[in-house]
Structure 1
Amino acid sequence: MLQRLVIRYNGVGYEGWRHNKNSYDLNSELAGRPLRLICDLAHAPDFEGKHYGICRAAPD
């Protein structure tokens, strides 16, 4: 199933997070770590591992 987070700011849509989740298990996106994101509207969307967007996983 596809997870998608779109951030809308000043009439512009930003691809914040896109991830194909293969499990219904809690926190399976980041191998059990809670999903905490840091998003920067100035960054171009890119891949971080299997995730795509302007948001990055926050460090532990």
Structure 2
Amino acid sequence: MRNKSVFIKKAIEKLKDLDIDNFYFIDAKLKCPHCNKEFGIDKEFIGIVTCPYCGKYVEG
């Protein structure tokens, strides 16, 4: 379980780095109601969306 959480933390940090360069804003922007940060997703995406910053579920 510990390895999985380390992997998730590294993935979130990578997304934060990509977001700094405005790379992660792909087609659609969502705003997380938990941490109030905006992030992007592909507008064709179907599935569960979680915030890359706090990891909580975001409806969109």
Q: Fold conserved (TM > 0.5)?
A: no
TM-score interval for Structure 1 and Structure 2 normalised by the shorter chain: under 0.3
1 or 2, which has the higher strand percentage? 1
TM-score (norm 1): 0.20
Q: Looking at both structures, which has the greater relative contact order when contacts are Cα pairs under 8 Å and sequence separation is at least 6?
A: 1
TM-score (norm 2): 0.20
